[in-house]
Structure 1
Amino acid sequence: MANDWNKRILSQVVGGTLDSVAQEMSAVVTRTSRSPLFNEAHDYTTGIFDLHGNKSRLVAQAPGCTLHLYAVVSAVDRLVEAFRYDLHPGDVLLVNDPYYGGSHSLDWTIVTPVFHGRKPVLLPAVRSHMGDNGGPVAGGYNPRSRDIWQDGLRIPPIKLYERGEKRRDVFEMILGNNRLEHWLEGDLDAMIGACRVAEERIRTLLERYGGDQVREAIDSRIAYTERRVREEIGSWPDGTYTAETFADHDFQGRRDIRVKATVTVKGSDLHIDFTGSSPQVSGFINSPLSNTTSFAFVAVSTCCDEDIPINEGYMNPVTVTAPLGTVVNPKLPAPCGHATACVGAEIAEAVLLALAQCAPERVGVNAHKLPLAYSHGEYEDGRPWVNLNFFGYTGGAGAAYGTDGWGLYPPVMTGVILPSIEMTEYQYPCRILKHEYREDYTGPGKWRGAPGLEVKIQHLAESRTSVMMAGVRNTIRGFCGGGNGPANQVVINDGQPGAMDVPETVFDYPMPPNGIITFQRSGGGGWGSPLDRDPEAVLDDVRNGYVSVDGAFRDYGVIVREDGKGGYRLDADATEAHRSRLKESKRK
């Protein structure tokens, strides 16, 4: 018994240490990188893998950009396959190719092997969204892309360092294909530095406990996670549950692209089948298998307790089928540049809508239908800048059982941090004129989604902007009777001659100095019937400016009146009578 307890304790010590190492890696990237995407927005993920047979296993991961959660697993596997018999101390590996375990080519993965007993045993990894990726357009999002090469530079598995020596020719090739060279080399150094710090910490761990004991502790921790996830799945009724949702368009004329998910629960096993999804499309929303799998796992993970350690054990009970040649598993050379937003959002949404039929109290919160608009121009010294306009994407977090939507980012971007307004205005020639909640702009429900926002961003210098709309016709979905979110809206050159309310997409649209982009960003979907929401909670929302008096009556059947003192009061008797009539009419 004592030996068993010692193993359990060691498993917690080793697991906690590796979690701390992953978090330290994240801090290193934040504090040493150059790009605001890293040091302000934190659009990256750090993790640690081990080698188990011929594949890698996720061992630990720091909070980061959640949509990277499992896509990085595929990238590490492809790197291991490419260099399995050619790994040496001091090597640094890189890949970004969507068809080699990537998601879209803007996400780059750096891996370094840690050796013990002359064998590679653990693999620190960083996956980050880069500010530019070469190719035809600044910023890497190309709505006119017709193939993977028009998405940007493809980087298959390569070595940046070999046996500790920097491959300068490879670095120069990569830097020469990037508009933001002044950021890129520093960001790569930050990613590599994080892996090297992790290597030092891991060596200390291995020297203290030994390779065999560390490996046994990792096995135990993964088994613990798997057991917890299987207990959750096993509590859901066996059966097959199907749902579908749609992306508005592919930015090249194809509309209403279907994502269909059939979820089968059998004991503690879960199978997700995307058969019935639309064929791959011409536009750049096709989701490579690694991205599809990642969004499916993200959906499942949101249905499990948050105290379960994130590691390979999450994936073992879940299998995924995605037919080749579809929008969820395209054939080369289909473009994939926008897949992490569209159709990634629809993949997670379809899985959650299916799970709502067997685990209704576990689903919700997912919402990621981003109205993406990025701008680019030049600083006064001629250097290029690319601004992803992060403030315009905030909002969209949906409700879940027992809680309203919260926060400014939806859960698939949980680890991404809203940049400070002051630093954004310092780093780019822009002003954030407005960033505030908008009244009556969320999905109603027994628990409502997070409020939507209105955002105005002004670029002081001449610039150009491309806009990719989503969530206009097929808006953010509510769950279990909750209302859907409203439509997103983007207006460019707002308030000036030539202002345009973007219907679907515009490409490289010229904006004069002081041009303004206005975002109306949908709030999240609701959970449960709005007629079941606590009237006092609706009154609080009116007082806080989230819901108008008319909205309280229209969406919730709650009658709020002015109190004569500049405030509001609830008319409880009138509300109860009105709701009774509404519920009776629904039953008929």
Structure 2
Amino acid sequence: MRTNPSDRILSQVVGGTLDSVAQEMSAVVTRTARSPLFNEAHDFTTGIFDLPGSQSRLVAQAPGCTLHLYAVVSAVDRLMEAFRYDLHPGDVLLVNDPYYGGSHSLDWTIVTPVFHGRKPMLLPAVRSHMGDNGGPVAGGYNPRSRDIWQDGLRIPPIKLYERGEKRRDVFEMILGNNRLAHWLEGDLDAMIGACKVAAERIQSLLERYGGDAVAEAVDSRIAYTEKRVREEIASWPDGTYTAETFADHDFQGMQDIQVRATVTVSGSDLAIDFTGSSPQVAGFVNSPLSNTTSFAFVAISTCCDEDIPINEGYMNPVTVTAPLGTVVNPKPPAPCGHATACVGAEIAEAVLLALSQCAPNRVGVNAHKLPLAYSHGQYEDGRPWVNLNFYGYTGGAGAAYGTDGWGLYPPVMTGVILPSIEMTELQYPSRVLQHEYKADFTGPGRWRGAPGLEVRIQHLADSRTSVMMAGVRHTTQGFCGAGAGPSNRVVVDEGRPGALEVPETAFNVGMAAGGVLAFHRSGGGGWGDPLDREAEAVLDDVLNGYVSVEHAFADYGVVIQSIGKKPVLDLPATIAERDRRRSS
């Protein structure tokens, strides 16, 4: 059946308008929030959902923290289940519980229903990483957590506003359980304000075109995305493809935690099955189902054309199976506080490694094995501060077919912005002493990963730091014959007696004023055989300081001579060396 051209135009108009509304929501949060996590780092995601039946659908989104994207879907569904028969104009809903559609309890989701007639039709939503979440440890990451309550405050589906009236008692309960209450209320107001602005824009859209026309346009846009994604999947050969990867540990003594993904391509349908993954563990790396699904869809979306609108259509061709009681779908009350980094990174990596067997030219770029270290202390007036030390997490972007790794954040953090050093030094008692690329610290390949970084952050006041290492033994993998990234390293109180190079974890380590945190952050994995990299590109990397002459030879078989002080490519010797390696 042919589609009326005017219907196609309206679908584009409505879809583009909703995308713009989501982007305006993002701007509202950035410009009005108090926390540097919001107004500097942009560690949040905004989107719009509809409610055509019993479940919500993602309709539009703005660039943000990509790993939030599909986890929001589950959170919105849980909120709708809780309040389906008690929703009213002016309601504002909140949830953060990992077992109610959350990922880890530091990610909070705010939703406001927009009514057409007497029915909730569209749902603006904001999901944000909060600076603190109560619990035993400042900042919310507790490597000693043994259950979900030790991760921090659990917030099941609740109402912050009811029929437009603020529930002050609920607000006070939440603020009273947060170390950064002086930021938190302003951040919540920014999230709520973004949803209210979106509600006004959506009401104008509904008044202009009518509810039926908007609903049809949304259906058409989702169908278009699904068609494009199915075409991509159908271009991959049918079959079953399996891969596995490992997290180093669970911070409680369990080693080598396996994530196994079996991907089955059948026509335009794709099934992802995590059967064979490790049982849930004692430590706080267990990934609730919504987080697992989100990382799986992030992996799929990186394999499709970037011009495809991001909405529910991405999900329709894909089914995800994760056995209950495993590290990718734990039973409560297993702790989940670190799941958005570990084992989230391994979930996406395993899916991409499996897809590399059927769609090699589409995979790559995933690298998220973060060496997480956060510090806390007090300002001179006694107020607490919590610094996530963002600069130590930069780097790690892997390569893909046709392109070297790029940027300072891996793709699962796309939309997160590196905070301004100057603003960071104003907001915290800290100095960023070093933040620069580190030579020979990336995965080699036909296309290499982004260079790793060397970072040193000095805290000017007494502080305490907890460190959670990842990517030390099981480093970020390369694809299609490429090399993996190197090991991450973190040193606490570098340069002083008693400096600690963290093997796996460090808990609440004290540093006197002037102490330095040193990060050696791995670069990303490569793509393709390093012997296939153009020799001239390797020479450029040497000239740019990304690769040393010694590693050009060791990793790529490229012979570079020094004539005077200038490195010069010896092409005949390079060809001979590469031929020798290939033949052996």
- Normalising by the smaller structure, the TM-score range is over 0.9
Q: Which residue of 1 aligns with 2:541?
A: 541
**How far off is 1:563 after superposition?**
2.5
CA deviation map 1:219-273 (0-9, x unaligned): 0000000000000000000000000000000000000000000000000000000
Q: Which residue of 1 aligns with 2:389?
A: 389
* C-alpha separation in 1, matches of 2:527 and 2:563: 30
* C-alpha separation in 2, matches of 1:251 and 1:348: 21
Q: Which residue of 1 aligns with 2:524?
A: 524
* C-alpha separation in 2, matches of 1:36 and 1:333: 31
Q: Which residue of 1 aligns with 2:172?
A: 172
Q: Which residue of 1 aligns with 2:28?
A: 28
* C-alpha separation in 2, matches of 1:504 and 1:561: 40
| Amino-acid identity (%) | 84
* C-alpha separation in 2, matches of 1:363 and 1:563: 39
Segments of 4+ in structure 1 off by > 2 A?
none
Per the alignment, in what secondary structure is the counterpart of residue 581 of structure 2? helix
Count of residue pairs brought into register by the alignment: 584
Q: Which residue of 1 aligns with 2:274?
A: 274
Q: Which residue of 2 aligns with 1:329?
A: 329
CA deviation map 1:444-502 (0-9, x unaligned): 00000000000000000000000000000000000000000000000000000110110
Q: Which residue of 2 aligns with 1:474?
A: 474
Q: Which residue of 2 aligns with 1:569?
A: 568
CA deviation map 1:188-212 (0-9, x unaligned): 0000000000001000000000000
| Equivalent residue letter for 2:429 | P
**1:329-408 aligned within 5 A:** 329-408=329-408
* C-alpha separation in 1, matches of 2:96 and 2:218: 28
Q: Which residue of 1 aligns with 2:211?
A: 211
Q: Which residue of 2 aligns with 1:55?
A: 55
* C-alpha separation in 1, matches of 2:266 and 2:85: 39
**How far off is 1:560 after superposition?**
1.0
Q: Which residue of 1 aligns with 2:283?
A: 283
Q: Say if 2:116 is the partner of 1:113.
A: no
Q: Which residue of 2 aligns with 1:583?
A: 582
CA deviation map 1:494-547 (0-9, x unaligned): 000110110000100001100000000000000000000000000000000000
Per the alignment, in what secondary structure is the counterpart of residue 8 of structure 2? helix
Q: Which residue of 2 aligns with 1:157?
A: 157
**How far off is 1:2 after superposition?**
10
* C-alpha separation in 2, matches of 1:26 and 1:260: 35
CA deviation map 1:40-98 (0-9, x unaligned): 00000000000021010000000000000100000000000000110000000000000
RMSD: 0.8
**1:258-269 aligned within 5 A:** 258-269=258-269
Q: Which residue of 2 aligns with 1:73?
A: 73
CA deviation map 1:118-154 (0-9, x unaligned): 2110000000000000000000000000000000000
Q: Which residue of 1 aligns with 2:83?
A: 83
Q: Which residue of 1 aligns with 2:449?
A: 449
* C-alpha separation in 2, matches of 1:32 and 1:234: 44
Q: Which residue of 1 aligns with 2:314?
A: 314
**How far off is 1:320 after superposition?**
0.4
* C-alpha separation in 1, matches of 2:422 and 2:95: 34
* C-alpha separation in 2, matches of 1:458 and 1:51: 49
* C-alpha separation in 2, matches of 1:116 and 1:69: 26
Distance change (3 Å), C-alpha of 1:3 and 1:400: closer
Per the alignment, in what secondary structure is the counterpart of residue 229 of structure 1? helix
Normalised to the residue count of structure 2, the TM-score between the two structures is 1.00
Distance change (3 Å), C-alpha of 1:3 and 1:523: closer
| Equivalent residue letter for 1:189 | D
Q: Which residue of 1 aligns with 2:6?
A: 6
Per the alignment, in what secondary structure is the counterpart of residue 307 of structure 1? coil
| Equivalent residue letter for 1:480 | C
| Equivalent residue letter for 2:578 | R
| Equivalent residue letter for 1:54 | S
* C-alpha separation in 2, matches of 1:393 and 1:52: 40
* C-alpha separation in 2, matches of 1:2 and 1:540: 52
Q: Which residue of 1 aligns with 2:128?
A: 128
| Equivalent residue letter for 1:452 | G
* C-alpha separation in 1, matches of 2:563 and 2:117: 76
* C-alpha separation in 2, matches of 1:525 and 1:295: 18
